[in-house]
Structure 1
Amino acid sequence: MKPALPWWRTERVRAGLLSLLILAVILGVWHLATLPKAAVASSGPALTPEQIEYLKLMGKDPGVQADAGTGTSGFPTLLQMGRTVREHLSQPFYDKGPNDKGVGLQLMHSLGRVGAGYLLAALLAIPLGFAIGMSPLVYRALDPFIQVLKPISPLAWMPLALYTIKDAALSGIFVIFICSIWPMLINTAFGVAGVRRDWLNVARTLEVSPWRTAFEVILPAAAPTILTGMRISMGIAWLVIVAAEMLVGGTGIGYFVWNEWNNLSLPNVIFAILMIGLVGMVLDTLFARLQKAVTYVD
Structure 2
Amino acid sequence: MLLMNLAVAFAAIAQSTWKNSKPILLRDTVLLPALGFLGIIALWWIIALFRRDLMPTPPEAFVNNLDFILHPFYQRGPGDLGIGWLLLASLRRVIIGFSLGALVAIPLGFLIGMSRSVMLAFNPMIQIFKPVSPLAWLPIALAIFNLAEPSAIFVIFITSLWPTIINTALGVSSVSKDYLDVAQVLEMPKWRQIYKIILPASLPYIFTGLRISLGIAWLVIVAVEMLTGGVGIGFFVWDEWSRLNLSSVFLAVLVIGVTGLLLDVAIAQLQALVTHRRPSTVNS
Distance, in Å, in 1 between the alignment partners of 2:87 and 2:227 is 16
Query: Would you say 1:9 and 2:23 are equivalent positions?
Result: yes
Shift in Å, 1:5: 4.6
Residue 130 of structure 2 corresponds to: 150
Query: Would you say 1:237 and 2:217 are equivalent positions?
Result: yes
Residue in structure 2 matching 1:214, options 182, 194, 214: 194
Q: Secondary structure at the match of 2:74?
A: coil
1:252-289 deviations in Å (ceiling 9; x for gaps): 10001111111221101110111000100111122223
Return the TM-score normalized by structure 2: 0.86
Distance, in Å, in 2 between the alignment partners of 1:136 and 1:236 is 28
Distance, in Å, in 2 between the alignment partners of 1:35 and 1:261 is 19
1:140 corresponds to which letter in structure 2?
L
Q: Secondary structure at the match of 2:187?
A: coil
Distance, in Å, in 1 between the alignment partners of 2:218 and 2:22 is 35
Distance, in Å, in 2 between the alignment partners of 1:20 and 1:136 is 50
Structure 1 segments unaligned to the other structure (5+ residues): 37-70
Structure 2 segments unaligned to the other structure (5+ residues): 1-9, 279-284
Shift in Å, 1:296: 5.0
CA RMSD for the aligned pairs?
Answer: 2.1
Query: Would you say 1:192 and 2:192 are equivalent positions?
Result: no
Query: Would you say 1:273 and 2:273 are equivalent positions?
Result: no
- Computing the radius of gyration from Cα coordinates, the structure with the larger value is 1
Structure 1 pair 199–111 and aligned structure 2 pair: CA distance change class (3 A): same
Percent of counterpart pairs with the same letter?
A: 46
Residue 18 of structure 1 corresponds to: 32
Residue in structure 2 matching 1:167, options 147, 164, 174: 147
Structure 1 pair 35–290 and aligned structure 2 pair: CA distance change class (3 A): same
2:67 corresponds to which letter in structure 1?
E
Residue 133 of structure 1 corresponds to: 113
1:73-131 deviations in Å (ceiling 9; x for gaps): 43112222222343212111122234311100001110000011111111111001101
Q: Secondary structure at the match of 1:10?
A: helix
> How many equivalent residue pairs?
263
Distance, in Å, in 1 between the alignment partners of 2:277 and 2:265 is 19
What pairs up with 1:93-104 in 2 under 5 angstroms? 93-104=73-84
Residue 181 of structure 2 corresponds to: 201
Equivalent pair of 2:62/2:247 in contact (CA under 8 Å): no
Equivalent pair of 1:245/1:255 in contact (CA under 8 Å): yes
Shift in Å, 1:11: 4.4
Shift in Å, 1:247: 0.4
Structure 1 pair 273–296 and aligned structure 2 pair: CA distance change class (3 A): closer
Equivalent pair of 1:129/1:186 in contact (CA under 8 Å): yes
Q: Secondary structure at the match of 2:118?
A: helix
Distance, in Å, in 2 between the alignment partners of 1:92 and 1:296 is 36
